[in-house]
Amino acid sequence: MEIRRFIFNLLSENTLILSGMPGKCVIVDPGFNSPEERGTLLDYLSTASLVPEAVLLTHGHMDHVYGVAELQRLYGMPVYMSDADWPVLEYFQRVAKFGIPAPDINFTTTPVEDGSRIKAAGLEFLVITTPGHSPGGVCYLEEKEGAIFTGDTLFAGAIGRTDLYLSEYDDLIRSIMEKLMMLPGDITVYPGHGAPSTIGEERMTNPFLEPFNEPEETIYDEN
C-alpha cells in the first residue's frame, strides 16, 4: 500500500491518499480548504494518474470534511461515514468558530457499521466504530497492510478531545481500550493529526491511557 500524507487547513489535519493498485486510490478525511490546498491535492492525483474510488471519513468535524463535497462532484465516488455524525456535520456547518470557515456539506454519504468491510483501490478496510470524540467516530483497519486510520480517536501520545459538541469522554476511553488496544501491537496507527505511531507504542506509553499502560506480553516456550 502506498500512502501519501498532506497536512491541510488551519488545524493541520492529515489528509491521506492510499493506493493498493495502479491508477486507483482511497482518500481518508479530505481536509483541503483553500484554492492552494485544492490545487496541491488535485495536481498530485493528476500527476500520479490516480482516480479516487472512495472517501473514508473517520468523523464529521469540519477540518476533516472540507474537501468532500468538491471531490464527490468531481469524481462521483461514495463517501463512507457513520450516520451518527450527521448532527455533528450540520452543527459545525452552522456554527463556525475561531474564524474557521464552515464546510460545504452538500454531499451524500454511505453509512458504515461496526464490522462492515469496504473494498476499494485494491484495499479492504474493516470498519471499527469508536464513538467518543464524536458519536459516529470510526477507525478503518487494513488488516493485510497492518495499518489503522484512527482520525481523532487516537494520536501518537494523545487521545481525541471530548469537550466538543456531542463528545463523550467515557465513550472514547471505552472505544480505545476495548477495540483499539486489543489489536496487534505492530499495527501502524495513522491519526488525523500529527505523526504515525503503533498500537504497541500507544499501549505502553500513551499518558492518557494510564493506568492501563502495560508492557507487551512475553511469550515463553515451555519446552
Any domain includes 220: no
Any domain includes 222: no
Any domain includes 201: yes
Task: Let me know: does 102 contact 116? Beta carbons within 8 Å.
Answer: no
The confidence score (pLDDT) of residue 100 equals 74
Any domain includes 223: no
pLDDT digits (tens, 9 = 90+) for 140-153: 999 999 999 999 99
Question: d(Cα 180, Cα 121) in Å, to the nearest integer?
Answer: 24
List per-block mean pLDDT (blocks of 10 residues) for the chain, which spans 223 residues: 97 97 98 97 98 98 97 98 96 74 94 98 98 98 98 98 96 97 98 98 94 47 40
Q: Which residue segment(s) compose the domain that 157 sits in?
A: 2-209
pLDDT digits (tens, 9 = 90+) for 77-86: 999 999 999 9
Stated pTM of the model:
0.93
Any domain includes 31: yes
Show the cell assigned to 49.
494518474
The confidence score (pLDDT) of residue 40 equals 98
The confidence score (pLDDT) of residue 126 equals 98
The confidence score (pLDDT) of residue 212 equals 56
Show the cell assigned to 119.
473494498
Phi, psi of 154 (to 5 degrees): -135, 130
Any domain includes 187: yes
CATH number (domain holding residue 186): 3.60.15.10
Sign of torsion over alpha carbons 120, 123, 124, 129: negative
**Domain total for the chain?**
1
Question: d(Cα 167, Cα 86) in Å, to the nearest integer?
Answer: 14
Show the cell assigned to 97.
468558530
Any domain includes 25: yes
Any domain includes 53: yes
The confidence score (pLDDT) of residue 179 equals 97
